[in-house]
Structure 1
Amino acid sequence: MTYEYDVVIAGASVAGCASAMLFATRGARVALLEKRTTIDAHKVLCTHTLQPGALPVLKTLGVLPELEAAGAQGHVTELWTPWGWIRPRPEPGGEPLPHGLNVRRSTLDPILRQAAARTPGVDLMLGEAVTGLLEENGRITGVRTGARTITARLTVGADGRGSTVAAHSGLPARVSANNRLGFFARYRGLPPAPSRVWFLDPDTAFAFPNDGDITVIACSPSKEKHSAAFRRDMEGSFESFVRALPDAPPIDEGERVSKVVGTFDMPNVYRKPHRPGLALVGDAALATDPLWGVGIGWALQSAQWLADASVPGPGEGLEEYGRKHRSSLDSHHKLMEDYSSVRPFNPFEKLLLSAAARDAVSARHYQLFAGRLIDVKEFASPAALLRALRVNALHRLGR
């Protein structure tokens, strides 16, 4: 059977649900396809954190109060470095720092999917997997599933890192190695603590308190040094790594309530995010090293950029969307991609991070960058570098 819509979206996770809601509120008729069969399905392998830059999209979607009521935790992340902790604090008498949100995907995904399903104009179709794309005169005109043919002015691939839509689209992709492992587990009952990240140069780890008294703890050690040990004893290697962290989370005071899960290989993937009649959002367009916790936020933001660019209607403005996507994320992704090679800190990173561990203004500047509120060029601006040089010079003089 053939169905006609303005927009057909493959994947009803974060990027897909956000895209569906944003297009529907602009008057579009949207088919939202999800290959899984239950509305409460959720992604497992995820950092479970949103950076501050993503919160405006949640406010636009109207789901932020529901997430907060479900226990989502606001956070300003602290960072351990070889020079000490970076602990951003508001300026005395100033506004609170912009905060992110920690929330389990088992909480986030069903809330977003239910919100999309009740949005007028959205038809949520569970158990529908895309098997191919429709094309006419070089333009994508819809999708095929096992049971349906759906035509649309715009087809959106929101189906994740291993996107079926992207695979059928012919869009070019750049794949690069990530030389870190990635493993995490969930713990209940740990003492209250802020969100924390450890940069051990080059190994990394993080601990993010989530809803339901759950703390997600992860490590990203180098493949070269740790692959053999993790293959022999994944759980033992993981917990030994966590216990050895400086100011380590006291995992023995809580209860591990999940298996240790993760991957030995998660390459970085960048795809051109559009072609006539088709756009990619979220991980389908750009899947970068999960260490940085940007995936959920970039999924929400790319959905917003696509909807904003699609004026006067779906399928229009795709070149504008591509420019916005590239200008907003390219510098961040390239830095993350480079760091995933397991290189040591470069001189600029050493300068800025050491200053942020010693100076409140530099710490707030770092927090804006870590929250993806400023880009790499702004983070390493001449003014920021000059302040860092002064801070470190005074530190050496004992002032």
Structure 2
Amino acid sequence: MTQPESTEYDYDVVISGASLAGSAAAILLARRGLRVALLERRSDPAAYKVLCTHSITANAYPVLDELGLVPALEKAGALRNEARWYTRWGWIEPKAAPGGPELPYAYNVRRSTLDPMIRARAGRTPGVDLLLGHAVTGLVREAGRTVGVRASTPQGEREIRARLVVGADGKDSAVAKYAGVPGREYENGRFGYFAHFRDLPLHGGLGHTWFLDPDMAYAFPNEDGVTVIAVLPGKKWLPAFRDDLEGSFLAFVRALPEAPPIDSAERITKITGTVDYPLRSRNPTAPGIALIGDAALTGDPLWGVGCGWALESAQWLAEAVAPALTGRRNPGGPGDLDASLKAYARRHRRRLRGHQYLAADFARARPFNPLERLMFSAAARDEAVARHMHLFGSRLISPLRFLNPLAVAKASAVNLRHRRAAASPPPAYLSRAEP
């Protein structure tokens, strides 16, 4: 289905939501020659998302680079997100191979720094109109497709027409709701609480994640000497947390292996969180509509993938639809927007569906399954397997590549050697009694 020829448009694209995904998409589309209305329901240009891991996985580094944000992030003190992961088999500590390239990275940075930074950059981009205080209240439809939005603004109700409407408005997307975009929801068997601490030393200055099988926790250092600590226990612990949130949170952190010394650090925020955060997957497109970021796919916060996927999906959309929106509208040709949206949807599903499937399974707060035990235990014992796991945790390789036969065989060999070494008797000279 092509766009109605009679429709007059105010913009090429209207985007609902000026956080990470929306601002990135606005910049990337405008740089490709499109006129973009970037709507943000909040009026404060410094508004930011509070409930977040405040970490950008390495898969999104190319997007940060294209946006030109890398120098600004480093100047703001964002930290490269090197990390170590605790398991009952020991610590997984990914390191670059001797003589090899450094491990891929992106950044830990608080959303109070990141969101205003990228939103301001979008507002300065030629071709982008940043419209603060604009909340989408409905969609404009013609001939079975969406051709714009209705919005509540400081000046009253307004209709904004565009050839493409983009929902970048989060897990409870108004665009998806008004369009009736189908989706699927997965229950999360964990709840989460977090707080920020200043001057909290961590081993090696690295981020820490604790796989407590099945409970979880993490500590990520950010700019300005601030570390975010999150605990993500199974819901069986929820009544105790509700009875004494502060005491339960602090006791949980103090009991972690190599626990961060929170009692000697300054807590600078209250303990906040959520007791119900389901995973959601929606069709990423509909006629005249594209969804990006959490509006298309809301992941489990324990993996810290939301920021990275928000940026990546914005880039995928811009690459897919810009040729159609800047070209002639000939069905089947470069101007065929519907074909471009289908291409975006295929790429989105191909890149993220497998990751979401595994995350939804793990979100049941179950113990490790046999394959997970194999890979995690081997990664704690072998640097090559640890690097392989780092690539997966950074979302630079797919689940199929992570669990390919060679990788599984390598992990099996590592664990077999470990068991043989543990079962071998000590050399005779070590077993002789001292004279």
- TM-score normalized with structure 1 length: 0.98
Equivalent of 2:128 in 118, 122, 125: 122
Q: CA deviation at 1:311?
A: 4.3
Which one of the candidate residues 142, 163, 166 is aligned to 1:156? 166
Q: In the alignment, is the contact (CA less than 8 A) between 2:29 and 2:322 conserved in 1? A: no
Letter in structure 2 aligned against 1:268: L
**2:367 paired residue among 320, 324, 344:** 344
Q: Is the 8 A contact 1:3 1:148 kept in 2?
A: no
The answer to whether 1:135 aligns with 2:141 is yes
Q: How far, CA to CA, are the matches of 1:140 and 1:382 in structure 2?
A: 45
Give distance in 2, aligned partners of 1:199 and 1:100.
Answer: 22
Alignment of 1:10-25 (within 5 A): 10-25=16-31
CA distance in structure 2 between the aligned counterparts of 1:185 and 1:368, rounded to whole angstroms: 28
Indicate if the aligned counterparts of 2:32 and 2:322 stay in contact, CA closer than 8 A. no
CA positional deviation for 1:264: 0.6
Which position in structure 1 is the counterpart of 2:233?
Answer: 221
Map residues 46-57 of structure 1 onto 2, 5 A cutoff: 46-57=52-63
C-alpha separation between the residues in 2 aligned to 1:3 and 1:271? 27
Distance, in Å, in 1 between the alignment partners of 2:322 and 2:110 is 34
> Residues 84 and 209 of structure 2 are in contact (CA less than 8 Å); yes or no, is this contact kept in structure 1?
yes
2:189 equivalent to 1:179:
yes
Distance 2:252 2:224 in 1: 25
| Counterpart-to-counterpart distance in 2, 1:112 and 1:285 | 20
Letter in 2 for 1:194: L
Alignment-derived partner of residue 332 in structure 1: 355
The CA distance in 1 between the partners of 2:70 and 2:99, in whole Å, is 27
Contact kept, 8 Å, 1:46 with 1:290, in 2: the verdict is: yes
In structure 2, C-alpha distance between the alignment counterparts of 1:123 and 1:94, rounded to whole Å? 45
Shift of 1:3: 7.0
Deviations 1:96-132 (A, max 9, x none): 1111210000000000000000000000000000000
Partners of 1:42 and 1:106 within 8 A in 2: yes
**Structure 2 portions without partners, runs of 5+:** 1-7, 326-336, 423-435
Deviations 1:202-236 (A, max 9, x none): 00000000011000000100002x11011111111
* Aligned counterparts of 1:100 and 1:234: Cα–Cα separation in 2: 32
Instruction: Please state how far the C-alpha of 1:313 moved relative to its aligned partner.
Output: 2.6
The residue number in structure 1 matching 2:256 is: 245
How is 1:216-365 mapped onto 2 (pairs within 5 angstroms)? 216-224=228-236, 226-314=237-325, 315-316=337-338, 317-365=340-388
CA contact (8 A) 1:3 1:149 kept: no
In the other structure, the counterpart of 2:433 is none
Letter in 2 for 1:392: N
Structure 2 CA distance for aligned equivalents of residues 139 and 231 of structure 1: 46
Segment of structure 1 superposing worse, 322-331 or 68-77: 68-77
| Residue 205 (str. 1) matches residue 217 (str. 2) | yes
Shift of 1:300: 0.2
Structure 2 CA distance, aligned partners of 1:326 and 1:7?
A: 22
In 1, Cα distance between equivalents of 2:421 and 2:85 = 23
Structure 1: how far apart are the matches of 2:29 and 2:322?
A: 11
Q: Given the two structures, how large is their TM-score scaled by the length of structure 2?
A: 0.90
Quick one: distance in 2 between partners of 1:19 and 1:168?
21
Q: Does 1:375 align with 2:398?
A: yes
Name the larger-Rg structure. 2
Residue identity matched to 2:371: F
Instruction: Give the counterpart of 2:78 among 72, 81, 104.
Output: 72
Post-superposition offset of 1:36: 0.3
Equivalent residue of 2:323, what SS? Answer: coil
- For 1:283 and 1:182, the matched residues in 2 are separated by 18
The share of aligned pairs that are identical, in percent, is 55
Give the Cα separation in 2 of the matches to 1:391 and 1:253: 39
Query: How many pairs does the alignment contain?
Result: 397
- In the alignment, residue 301 of structure 1 is paired with which amino acid? E
Q: 1:66 deviation in Å?
A: 0.5
Partners of 2:139 and 2:175 within 8 A in 1: yes
AA at the equivalent of 1:277: G
Runs of 4+ in 1 over 4 A off after TM superposition: none
1:39 is aligned to 2:45 = yes
- Give the distance between the partners of 1:144 and 1:57, measured in 2 at CA: 30
Show CA shifts across 1:160-215 (max 9, x none): 01111111011101011101011100000112520110000000000000011000
1:263, 1:234 → 2: CA distance? 12
- 1:140 shift after superposition: 0.6
- Which amino acid letter does the alignment assign opposite residue 168 of structure 2? A
Deviations 1:302-324 (A, max 9, x none): 00000111142334500000000
How many Å separate the matches in 1 of 2:14 and 2:22?
10
Equivalent residue for 2:33, pick from 27, 42, 54: 27
Q: Deviations over 1:269-292 (max 9, x none)?
A: 111010111000000000011000
Instruction: State the alpha-carbon separation in 1 of the partners of residues 18 and 70 from structure 2.
Output: 18
